[in-house]
Chains A and B, each alone.
Chain A
Amino acid sequence: MLNATLAELASALAAKRISSVELTKLFLARIAALNGALNAFITVDEERSLADARAADALRARGEGGPLTGIPIAHKDIYCTRGMRTTCGSKMLADFVSPYDAHVIECFAAAHAVLLGKTNMDEFAMGSSNETSFYGPVRNPWDLRRVPGGSSGGSAAAVAARMAPAATGTDTGGSIRQPAALAGVSGLKPTYGAVSRFGMVAFASSLDQGGPLAKSAADLALLMNAMAGYDARDSTSLERPAEDYTRALELPLAGLRIGLPREYFSMGVEPDVLARVREAVRWFESQGTRVIDIELPNTRLSVPVYYVLAPAEASSNLSRFDGVRYGHRAAEPRDLFDMHCRTRAEGFGAEVKRRILIGTYVLSHGYYDAYYLQAQKVRRRIAGDFAQAFRQCDVIMGPTAPTTAFRIGEKSADPVQMYLGDIFTVPASLAGLPAISVPCGFDSRGLPVGLQITGQYFAEATLLGAAHRYQQVHDWHLRVPKETPL
């Protein structure tokens, strides 16, 4: 059961081979056994999870419910949950209990899924290693000395270690795809606006997008059916007819045009990563797809653009943490200014402070045009690269990240080294395009490699279909990490 797909769990529940309470207890026991070593969860509430499970069992007993009814799902601790604390990986929100649920939480409640717990993450989703969490780093189940990626590192590690069958995440510059790659699971960043951001703690609003992490692409499609869709409470939510994300899982591959960006196969990519990605591309080629060399010439500018725009938006968004309405407040302030300054100095960690300061600087008088406006102009060139490329191809393939999982502490001395690892995930975020990462093998140290597939706006079903076809004949996504055997 621990290694079953969502569809297998659903049929086991429907056939009464297992109850949701039994299934939930199985995963709660797995969390209890492994969380000390992995630190993937910040909050687990067994009573609440079991109450959800009992309700789901009652529903199924009446012959009601849907494909996710009774299935335990973990949520990144960035999604507000009524009655259960939402920390966002920060000391600032250590005791924060939201008065309402995020839209995504409501969606899974409406599907009668079980809320399994809240997963660890980089503080305010700012990081690529899960080392910036106030609650300590998450460890990679494939090698406990290494990071699981970030910022949705807890969700990725939880799915990889089979502590949860699936989890939610958020992706601003790669925070679903990069941890999915480094932890050996599948993860989808949907088109910007496909999943409501209501109740999702804001980091960089022009980029933030919620999405799922799971073992397989078919599982991601089921999760998208539950979490995507229009929500009037998010002004960027796209008003479109509901779609069935499973509809193209049996995608015919013959004739599919796959673009390989020259830049994604050259810029400092580890040889093992390149080799695994090329093997995956060769398999697609053997299925009658057409592989085309393309160019995304502004790729090298994507990281500088991102590290102007995301901190700028973060500095505005995080101004709400002022010690007045919620969150931490410094003790015995001398005056309002002192209260603000000390509240924020005490509540935020080092990386969050650095990003707020960079963001404040690039937005400040005299520097706005040179940094912020210039970055927005280059952003348009990056989006233009994709528009050009999609005239020649249907999907774009390449590595999700230039390296496999690195050691804890290895990149924390120099922020720029960490940032440069985001080079292949940031471009789709800047353009607002959907992209998926799926496991495509291992490096010589046994660490997972991720294949990224990027598509046109709203091409999620195609991406899921291409990934599913690959997973029908490869079993990388079903391998269990050696540090966390079943």
Chain B
Amino acid sequence: MSLSPDQIKRIARLARIAVSPAEAEELRVRLNRVLELVDRLQSIDTAGIEPMSHALEALLPAGQRLRPDLVTEPDRRAEFQAVAPAVDAGLYLVPKVIE
């Protein structure tokens, strides 16, 4: 499969990355090289093989550990918001979304 310029634009929009027309062309060439590499997987017969999402399944046959649904963390909002680009009165500020 090979990506068209329109597909590059669509993927960049989905990924929320602004891409200039010049960048889009370079990306198209490079991403198509990567797709050529990964397209080798298409011809492999995987009938009857379950997908392996995690190495943990080999290590934790019983499945991933779950914790009880209890509040255990202290409130550290002020500390966490101190590293945010824009906050006010405990809220994260972003450009207006709803008119």
Tell me if B44 and A301 are in contact (CB < 8 A).
Answer: yes
Measured as residues with beta carbon below 8 angstroms from the partner, the interface class of chain B is 35 or more
In the bound complex, what is the Cα–Cα distance between A232 and B68 (angstroms)?
A: 12
What residues of chain A lie closer than 8 Å to B3, measured between beta carbons? 361
Tell me if B37 and A206 are in contact (CB < 8 A).
Answer: no
| Interface contacts beyond A380-B52, A381-B49, A383-B52: sample of 13 additional A-B pairs, CB < 8 Å, sorted by A | A98-B83, A99-B79, A308-B38, A323-B85, A338-B18, A356-B15, A358-B34, A360-B14, A361-B31, A374-B41, A377-B46, A377-B52, A383-B55
What is the minimal beta-carbon distance from B99 to any residue of chain A, in angstroms? Answer: 11
Out of A333, A345, A354, A379, name the residue touching B34 (CB < 8 Å). Answer: A354
B84: interface (CB < 8 Å): yes
Tell me if B76 and A99 are in contact (CB < 8 A).
Answer: yes
Tell me if B49 and A380 are in contact (CB < 8 A).
Answer: yes
In the bound complex, what is the Cα–Cα distance between A265 and B88 (angstroms)?
A: 61
Given A324-B84, A383-B52, A432 and B59 touching (CB < 8 A)?
yes
In the bound complex, what is the Cα–Cα distance between A365 and B11 (angstroms)?
A: 11
In the bound complex, what is the Cα–Cα distance between A311 and B34 (angstroms)?
A: 11
> Which residues of B in the span 29-63 have a Cβ within 8 Å of any Cβ on A?
30-31, 33-42, 44, 46, 49-56, 58-60
A326: interface (CB < 8 Å): yes
Tell me if B56 and A432 are in contact (CB < 8 A).
Answer: yes
Tell me if B58 and A416 are in contact (CB < 8 A).
Answer: no
What is the minimal beta-carbon distance from A219 to any residue of chain B, in angstroms? Answer: 26
In the bound complex, what is the Cα–Cα distance between A383 and B59 (angstroms)?
A: 12
What residues of chain A lie closer than 8 Å to B54, measured between beta carbons? 206, 236, 432
What residues of chain A lie closer than 8 Å to B12, measured between beta carbons? 357
Out of B33, B52, B86, B95, name the residue touching A334 (CB < 8 Å). Answer: B95
Out of B15, B37, B42, B51, name the residue touching A370 (CB < 8 Å). Answer: B42
Tell me if B80 and A99 are in contact (CB < 8 A).
Answer: yes
What is the minimal beta-carbon distance from A381 to any residue of chain B, in angstroms? Answer: 7
A47: interface (CB < 8 Å): no
Closest to A326 in B: B83
> Which residues of A in the span 413-460 have a Cβ within 8 Å of any Cβ on B?
414-416, 419, 430-433, 457
What residues of chain B lie closer than 8 Å to A329, measured between beta carbons? 85-86
What is the minimal beta-carbon distance from B52 to any residue of chain A, in angstroms? Answer: 4
In the bound complex, what is the Cα–Cα distance between A329 and B64 (angstroms)?
A: 36
A371: interface (CB < 8 Å): yes
In the bound complex, what is the Cα–Cα distance between A98 and B44 (angstroms)?
A: 44
Tell me if B44 and A374 are in contact (CB < 8 A).
Answer: yes
Subset of 5 A-B contacts with CB under 8 Å = A99-B83, A192-B55, A325-B84, A334-B95, A344-B15
A406: interface (CB < 8 Å): no
Tell me if A340 and B16 are in contact (CB < 8 A).
Answer: yes
Given A307-B34, A373-B51, A301 and B40 touching (CB < 8 A)?
yes
What residues of chain A lie closer than 8 Å to B37, measured between beta carbons? 303-304, 307, 416, 419
What residues of chain A lie closer than 8 Å to B35, measured between beta carbons? 358
In the bound complex, what is the Cα–Cα distance between A245 and B16 (angstroms)?
A: 44
A170: interface (CB < 8 Å): no
What residues of chain B lie closer than 8 Å to A308, measured between beta carbons? 38, 41
What residues of chain A lie closer than 8 Å to B50, measured between beta carbons? 377, 380
> Which residues of A in the span 300-353 have a Cβ within 8 Å of any Cβ on B?
300-301, 303-305, 307-308, 315, 319, 322-329, 333-342, 344-345, 348, 353
Given A322-B16, A324-B84, A357-B15, A336 and B31 touching (CB < 8 A)?
no
Closest to B60 in A: A238
What is the minimal beta-carbon distance from B31 to any residue of chain A, in angstroms? Answer: 6
Tell me if B51 and A357 are in contact (CB < 8 A).
Answer: no
In the bound complex, what is the Cα–Cα distance between A335 and B96 (angstroms)?
A: 7
What is the minimal beta-carbon distance from A99 to any residue of chain B, in angstroms? Answer: 4
Of B17, B33, B95, B96, most buried by chain A (CB within 10 Å of CB) is B17
In the bound complex, what is the Cα–Cα distance between A327 and B97 (angstroms)?
A: 21
What is the minimal beta-carbon distance from A333 to any residue of chain B, in angstroms? Answer: 5
What residues of chain B lie closer than 8 Å to A378, measured between beta carbons? 41, 44, 46
What is the minimal beta-carbon distance from B49 to any residue of chain A, in angstroms? Answer: 4
Which 6 A/B pairs are nearest by Cβ-Cβ distance?
A: A432-B55, A376-B51, A377-B46, A380-B52, A345-B18, A329-B85
A97: interface (CB < 8 Å): yes
Tell me if A377 and B58 are in contact (CB < 8 A).
Answer: no
Out of A239, A361, A373, name the residue touching B11 (CB < 8 Å). Answer: A361
Tell me if A371 and B38 are in contact (CB < 8 A).
Answer: yes
What residues of chain A lie closer than 8 Å to B79, measured between beta carbons? 99
Tell me if B59 and A238 are in contact (CB < 8 A).
Answer: yes
What residues of chain B lie closer than 8 Å to A191, measured between beta carbons? 59
Closest to A194 in B: B59
What is the minimal beta-carbon distance from B26 to any residue of chain A, in angstroms? Answer: 9
Tell me if B82 and A99 are in contact (CB < 8 A).
Answer: yes
In the bound complex, what is the Cα–Cα distance between A33 and B59 (angstroms)?
A: 45
In the bound complex, what is the Cα–Cα distance between A378 and B13 (angstroms)?
A: 30
A287: interface (CB < 8 Å): no
In the bound complex, what is the Cα–Cα distance between A67 and B72 (angstroms)?
A: 33
What residues of chain B lie closer than 8 Å to A364, measured between beta carbons? 11, 14
What residues of chain B lie closer than 8 Å to A342, measured between beta carbons? 18
Closest to B54 in A: A206
What residues of chain A lie closer than 8 Å to B60, measured between beta carbons? 193, 238
Tell me if B34 and A415 are in contact (CB < 8 A).
Answer: yes
In the bound complex, what is the Cα–Cα distance between A271 and B92 (angstroms)?
A: 57
A235: interface (CB < 8 Å): yes
Closest to A346 in B: B18
Tell me if B41 and A375 are in contact (CB < 8 A).
Answer: yes
